[in-house]
Structure 1
Amino acid sequence: MFALAFGFARSYWIPLSAAAVMLGTTVVFTLHRAIQRSAGTVIGVMLAGAILFFKPGGVYIAFCIAALQCLLEMLIVRNYALAVPFLTANALVITESMHGGAGAGYFMIARLTDVAVGSVIGLLGTILLWRRFSTKRLPELMRNVIRLEGQFMEKLLTGQNADEHKLRVSLVRLRDAYDKALGEFPHANAEALWPAISGAQHLGYYLLSAQAHRRPPAPFSDEEINQLRAFFEQAEQSFIMKRMPADIQVPHVPHYPRISKELFALYSGLRTAFEK
C-alpha cells in the first residue's frame, strides 16, 4: 500500500525487500540483512549495467540469465550478502530484456530506490513487532527446561527411563532463544541471565549423558527425592519471578558427582543472574 500510494516504479520490489530483510528476526540481524541487501543491490546494479552495456540478445541474454541464476543458487544457501548482487543483476537483466524500450537506467534507479525503501521499512517493522520477542520467551523456556530436568533426574535416580527427546529439544530451544535475544535491544537483560542459562544447559546435557551410560540407580530416600523436588521448584520460581532463589540446601548425589556440581552451578547461576 505504501509503495502504491507514493507511486514507486516497480512497487512490488519494496514489499519483497522488506520481507527479505525481516527474515533476520532480530533487530541486529535485520540490520545486517538490510545492509547486505542494500550493498549487494548496488553491486548488482553495476554488474547488470556492465552486462546490458553490450546489449546482449537472443541466446546470449538467455546464457547471461542462466549463469546469474546458477551463481545465485550456489551462493544463497551459504552467504546472503554474496548472493544479492547476482539476484539483483538477474532481476534487472530479465526486466530489461522484457521492457527494452524503457531504458536500463530507469530500472536501475527504480531497483536502488525500492530496495532502500523496503529495507528501511523491514527494519522498522522488526523494531516495532519483534524488538524483544525472544527475550520475553526466555523465562517460560527456562522454566520448562528446569521442570524437565527435575523430572528427568528423579527418574534417573529411581532407575526409570526418562524422555530424552523432550529434554534435548527444550535445551536447544532455550539456547536458540538466548542467542536471538542477544540480537535484540536492549540485550543487557539477556546477558545477565547467562549464568543461570549456562547452568541449566550444562546440567541438562550431563543428565542426558548419565542416562546414556545407564548406571545402576543410586540409593535415594524419599526425603532426598522431596529435597530434589523442592530444589527444582525453587529454581523454577526464581526464574519466573526474576528473583534470587531462597537459601536452600543444594541436593548432593554422591553417585553422580558431576551432576551434583552442576546443580550447585545452576543454583549459583540463578543467584548471580538476579543479584541486585
Structure 2
Amino acid sequence: MDPEETSAGHESNLPAPRPARSVLFGLPPVGNRYPGAVRVALALAIPAAIATLLGFGSASLLVGLGAFASIYGEGRPYRSRWKAVGIAATALTILSFIGASVGEPVHRAIAEGAPTVLLVFVVLIMAVVVSTCAFTVDALRLGPPGAFFLLLTTEISSVIATPVQPPVEVAMWTAIGGINAVVVSMTGILWAPRAVERSAVQAAVSAVAEYTDAQAAYAPPELTRDKRHAAALRLHDAWQCLYRGAIVGKDHPLTRELERAQISMARAISDDHDPELRADPAFDVDEVGAHPPLPDPTIRYRFLRACNPSSRASVTALRLSIACMAAGTLTVLLGIDRPDWAVIAAAMVLHQGPDRILGTYRGIHRIGGTVLGLILLGAIYAWSPTGLWLVAVLAVLMAGIELFLVRNYGIAVILITALAILLGAAGGAHGTVQHLILSRMLETAIGVVVALVVLWTVGRGAHRRTLIWVDERAGSVLFKLLTEIRARHYAPQVNWSELSELRRDLDFELRGSAMAGIDAAHNEPEWASQQWRTHTELHHLGSDVLHRLWFGTQVSRSHLEEWESRYLRSGSV
C-alpha cells in the first residue's frame, strides 16, 4: 500500500475534538448530581447562617472558601470521601492564609502611597500556587474540579485581608467552612453507607444496557459511539468507586453485578465494527477496553513519574506559570487594579491540560461566562440581599456550580464569577458596580488572550514529546510484564496474582498514553497520524494482555509467544 494512503487511513481514525456546538452549548448527562449539589450548598449555608445570626457580619461568609472542599468529595464512597474532603479543606485553609498574608501588606502599602507594581508579588504567589496545584492534580489524575478552587481561594484571600480582618481570621473562617464540609459530606453514611457505590454500579449497568440496545437496534454509528463511550466512562467510574470503597476482590453483590456488566461490555465491543474502535481499543480517556480498569498506583509512583519535562503535568504547569505571570504583570503595567482576576482567567483556560482545541473552547466559555456572570451579579447587587438572604444566594450559587461544573463549563463560569466577587466583597474589596463590571471584563479579556497565546505558542511540539515519552513508558512496563509471565512458565507453581502491581502500572500507563494520543491528535493530526500505528498496536497488545490476566484465563506458551512477537513488531523496544 502506498505510504500516503496508509497515513491517510490512520488519520481518518484519529480521535477528533467534539463539535464546538456540543461543547459550548451541550449538557451531557452525568448522572444524578442533585444530592451533591444539596450537600455543597449546605456546606456553606449552615456555618454562614449560624455566624450571621450570631452577629459576625459579612466576614462570616468567608466560610464559603472552606465549603469548596465539599466539591472534592462528590462521587467518592464514604470510606475515602472524608479523607479527600479533609485534605482539600486543609489545603484551602493553608492557601487562604498564604493569600491573605501576601495580599494584606501589599494592598496596605499601596493604600499608603507605594507603587502599584507591588501587586506583582500577589501575581507571583498565585502563579506558583496554581502551577503547583495543577501539576499535582494532573500527576495524580484527580479529575474535576482540579486546581481551580485552590487558586480561587488564594485570590479571594489576597484581596479581602485587612488590618481589621487579618490573615489568621481569614484562615479561621475558611477552616470553619472546611470542617463543616467534612461533616456535611459524610452525613449520608448514617443511613446508606454504600449508597455511592450502589449508585455508581447502577449507572454503569444502565449505560451498558443502552449501548447494547443501540447495537441491537442498528442505531446510527454516531449514536452507538456516544453510547459506547458513555458506558465505558460509567464502568470506569464504578470500578474506581468500588476500589475506593475497598469491596473489589470480595464476594460482594455490587462487585458481582459490575463484573457481569463488564462482561456484557466486552462482548458488545467484540461485535462493534466502528473504525474508531478498531483503530485503538483504548481510544479515549473513557478507557474503551474489554477489561476493567485497575486501581491507580501509589501516590509516590504517580507523582514521581510526572517529574519529567515531557509529562503532561509538567507541560501544563509550565504554560500556567508563564501565562499567569504574563497576564498579571501586563494588567499591573496597564494600571488596572485587579491583576489577580486576569490570573484567574488565564488559569481557567489552561489548568485542565494542554489540549489546544479544548483550551480554546474553555477560553470562549470563560469570556462568555464572565460577561453573563457579571450581568447576574448586577441583578444581585440591584436586589442588595443582606444577612440570611445573602447566605441563601451564595448557597444557590454553590449548588449550581456543582450541578454544571462537569456538564457545561460556561454555565459554571457564570455562577463562579458571581460567587467569587460576592465572597471577595465580604472584605469590602470592591468599588462601584460599574467600575467592578468594566474592570472584571477587561481583566478577563487580558487573561484569556494571554492564555490562548501561550497555549498555541509555548511548547508547540510538547504533545509530540509527551506521546513518545508515555508510549515508551507503557512499552517498558509491558516488556517487564511479559518477562515475568515467561518466568512463571518455568516456575514449579504458577501464581498469576503476583503480577498485580505490573498489571496496575501498565493499565495506568496505557490510560496516560490514551490521553496523550488524544492531545496529539487534536493539536497536530498530521504528525499524530504518522505515530498512530505504533500507538494503537501498543494499546491492542496491552489490552489483550490485561484482558486475559483480569479474567483469570491461563496464559499458554502460544499466547505468550504471540504477544512477544507482536511486541517486537510494534517497535516498542
Question: Normalised by the size of structure 1, how large is the TM-score?
Answer: 0.71
Q: How far has the Cα of 1:202 moved from its partner?
A: 0.9
Specify the alignment match of 2:53 in structure 1.
none
Q: How far has the Cα of 1:30 moved from its partner?
A: 1.7
Specify the alignment match of 1:233 in structure 2.
none
Specify the alignment match of 2:559 in structure 1.
256
Specify the alignment match of 2:369 in structure 1.
40
Distance of 2:363 and 2:455 partners within structure 1: 11
Distance of 2:510 and 2:564 partners within structure 1: 15
Distance of 1:156 and 1:118 partners within structure 2: 52
CA, structure 1 residues 261+97, in 2 after alignment: closer, same or farther (shift >3 Å)? Answer: closer
Q: Secondary structure at the match of 1:205?
A: helix
List per-residue Cα deviations over 1:206-241 (Å, max 9, x = no partner).
Answer: 1223334352642xxxxxxxxxxxxxxxxxxxxxxx
Specify the alignment match of 1:206 in structure 2.
544
Query: Of the candidates 448, 463, 467, which is equivalent to residue 134 of structure 1?
Result: 463
Query: Of the candidates 184, 190, 202, which is equivalent to residue 528 of structure 2?
Result: 190
Count of equivalent residues: 231
Q: How far has the Cα of 1:7 moved from its partner?
A: 0.9
Q: Secondary structure at the match of 1:126?
A: helix
Q: How far has the Cα of 1:174 moved from its partner?
A: 1.4
| AA aligned opposite 1:15 | V
Distance of 1:91 and 1:144 partners within structure 2: 41
Q: Secondary structure at the match of 1:178?
A: helix
Distance of 2:481 and 2:539 partners within structure 1: 14
Specify the alignment match of 1:247 in structure 2.
none
Specify the alignment match of 1:166 in structure 2.
505
Distance of 2:457 and 2:513 partners within structure 1: 23
Distance of 1:128 and 1:199 partners within structure 2: 31
Query: Of the candidates 61, 64, 69, which is equivalent to residue 398 of structure 2?
Result: 69
Specify the alignment match of 2:518 in structure 1.
179
Distance of 2:385 and 2:483 partners within structure 1: 72
| AA aligned opposite 1:49 | G
Q: How far has the Cα of 1:48 moved from its partner?
A: 1.4
Give identity over the alignment, percent. 22
Q: How far has the Cα of 1:265 moved from its partner?
A: 9.5
1:21 matched to 2:327? The reply is no
Specify the alignment match of 2:384 in structure 1.
55
Query: Of the candidates 89, 109, 120, which is equivalent to residue 438 of structure 2?
Result: 109
Question: Structure 1: which 4+ aligned runs deviate by more than 6 Å?
Answer: none
Q: How far has the Cα of 1:89 moved from its partner?
A: 1.8
Distance of 1:94 and 1:87 partners within structure 2: 10
CA contact (8 A) 2:400 2:415 kept: yes
Alignment of 1:218-257 (within 5 A): 218=557, 255-256=558-559
Q: How far has the Cα of 1:130 moved from its partner?
A: 3.7
CA, structure 1 residues 95+167, in 2 after alignment: closer, same or farther (shift >3 Å)? Answer: closer
CA contact (8 A) 2:541 2:566 kept: no
CA, structure 1 residues 95+180, in 2 after alignment: closer, same or farther (shift >3 Å)? Answer: same
Specify the alignment match of 2:248 in structure 1.
none
CA contact (8 A) 2:482 2:564 kept: no
CA contact (8 A) 2:350 2:455 kept: yes
Q: How far has the Cα of 1:111 moved from its partner?
A: 1.2
Distance of 1:216 and 1:66 partners within structure 2: 56
CA, structure 1 residues 198+96, in 2 after alignment: closer, same or farther (shift >3 Å)? Answer: same
Q: How far has the Cα of 1:173 moved from its partner?
A: 1.9
1:155 matched to 2:458? The reply is no
Structure 2 regions of 5+ residues with no counterpart?
Answer: 1-328, 490-495
Distance of 2:363 and 2:430 partners within structure 1: 31
CA, structure 1 residues 266+104, in 2 after alignment: closer, same or farther (shift >3 Å)? Answer: farther
CA contact (8 A) 1:40 1:84 kept: yes
Q: Which moved more, 1:110-119 or 1:87-96?
A: 87-96
Q: How far has the Cα of 1:150 moved from its partner?
A: 3.3
Q: How far has the Cα of 1:103 moved from its partner?
A: 2.5
Q: How far has the Cα of 1:192 moved from its partner?
A: 2.6
Q: How far has the Cα of 1:100 moved from its partner?
A: 9.7
Q: Secondary structure at the match of 2:458?
A: helix
Q: How far has the Cα of 1:118 moved from its partner?
A: 0.6
Distance of 2:568 and 2:413 partners within structure 1: 44
Query: Of the candidates 309, 321, 337, which is equivalent to residue 9 of structure 1?
Result: 337
Alignment of 1:72-91 (within 5 A): 72-91=401-420
| AA aligned opposite 2:391 | A
Structure 1 regions of 5+ residues with no counterpart?
Answer: 219-254, 271-276
CA, structure 1 residues 177+216, in 2 after alignment: closer, same or farther (shift >3 Å)? Answer: closer
| AA aligned opposite 2:336 | F
Q: How far has the Cα of 1:203 moved from its partner?
A: 0.5
List per-residue Cα deviations over 1:237-259 (Å, max 9, x = no partner).
Answer: xxxxxxxxxxxxxxxxxx339x8
Distance of 2:340 and 2:417 partners within structure 1: 14
Q: Secondary structure at the match of 2:339?
A: coil
Q: How far has the Cα of 1:75 moved from its partner?
A: 2.8
Q: Secondary structure at the match of 1:8?
A: coil
Q: How far has the Cα of 1:92 moved from its partner?
A: 3.8
Q: How far has the Cα of 1:41 moved from its partner?
A: 0.8
Q: Secondary structure at the match of 2:488?
A: coil
Distance of 1:216 and 1:62 partners within structure 2: 61
CA contact (8 A) 1:18 1:122 kept: yes
CA, structure 1 residues 158+100, in 2 after alignment: closer, same or farther (shift >3 Å)? Answer: closer
